[in-house]
Amino acid sequence: MEYINLGNSGLRVPKYILGTIPFSGTNGFEATGNIKEDDARKMVDIALEAGINMFDTANLYSKGDAERVLGAAIQGRRDEVLLTSKTGFQLGDNPNDGGASRINIETSIDRSLERLGTDYLDLYFVHLWDGQTPIEETVETMTNLVKSGKIRYWGVSNYSGWALARTFSIAERSGYIPPITQQIYYTPEAREAEYELLPAANELGIGSMIWSPLGEGLLNGKIGRNKTAPEDTRQGGGWPEPWVQDHERLYQVIDALEEVAANHDATIPQIAYTWVKDRPNVGPIVIAARNEQQLKEDIASFDIQLTQEEHDRIESVSRPAPLYPNWHRAMNSLEKGSPSEIPYLQGYTKSMGIED
% residues pLDDT > 90 (the chain):
88
Q: Which pLDDT score, from 0 to 100, does residue 239 have?
A: 78
> Does residue 3 surpass a pLDDT of 70?
yes
Catalytic residue among 3, 16, 61, 324: 61
Mean residue pLDDT of the chain comes to 95
Q: Which pLDDT score, from 0 to 100, does residue 143 have?
A: 98
Residue 77 — pLDDT band, cuts 50, 70, 90?
very high
- Find the mean pLDDT for residues 189-217: 96
- Find the mean pLDDT for residues 304-322: 96
% residues pLDDT > 70 (the chain):
99
Q: Which pLDDT score, from 0 to 100, does residue 233 have?
A: 78
Write the pLDDT tens digit of every residue in 230-245. Answer: 777 777 777 777 888 8
Q: Which pLDDT score, from 0 to 100, does residue 354 have?
A: 87
Write the pLDDT tens digit of every residue in 14-64. Answer: 999 999 999 999 999 998 989 999 999 999 999 999 999 999 999 999 999
Tell me, yes or no, if 3 is annotated catalytic. Answer: no
Write the pLDDT tens digit of every residue in 116-145. Answer: 999 999 999 999 999 999 999 999 999 999
> Does residue 229 surpass a pLDDT of 80?
no
pTM for this one? 0.94
Residue 160: HSE in the Cβ half-sphere, 13 Å Cα cutoff: 5
- Find the mean pLDDT for residues 199-203: 97
> Does residue 205 surpass a pLDDT of 90?
yes
